[in-house]
Amino acid sequence: MVDAGMEFLSPGAQSELAEIRVALEVSPWSVGRPYVTAHPERGMRSIDFDGGDAVLIFAIIDRDRWVELLQLTVL
């Protein structure tokens, strides 16, 4: 789902997303905010970018040291 949304991002938003992806590789828990605020310890998180016109939802799987990009929504 993330790849399909990429074509709708402006060049500036694509640059922002590239920076977000680098940050996710380095320190994923510092990126974005909890997707489910009632359970912030769970690995589902989201981040808005492109002035709020795009949202990336991702999951952090600590035991595997993995971040999965789940959904990219572009308004």
For the chain, the three-class secondary structure string (H helix, E strand, C coil) is: CHHHHHCCCCHHHHHHHHHHHHHHHHCHHHCCEECCCCCCCCCEEEEEECCCCEEEEEEEEHHHCEEEEEEEEEC
Candidate CATH numbers 2.60.120.620, 3.40.228.10, 3.40.1710.10, 3.30.2310.20; the one for domain 2-74: 3.30.2310.20
Of the pLDDT bands very low, low, confident and very high (cuts 50, 70, 90), residue 5 is confident
Q: What is the pLDDT of residue 3?
A: 82
Whether 66 has a pLDDT exceeding 80, the answer reads: yes
Residue range 15-59, pLDDT digits in tens: 999 999 999 999 999 999 999 999 999 999 999 999 999 999 999
Whether the model pTM is above 0.75: yes
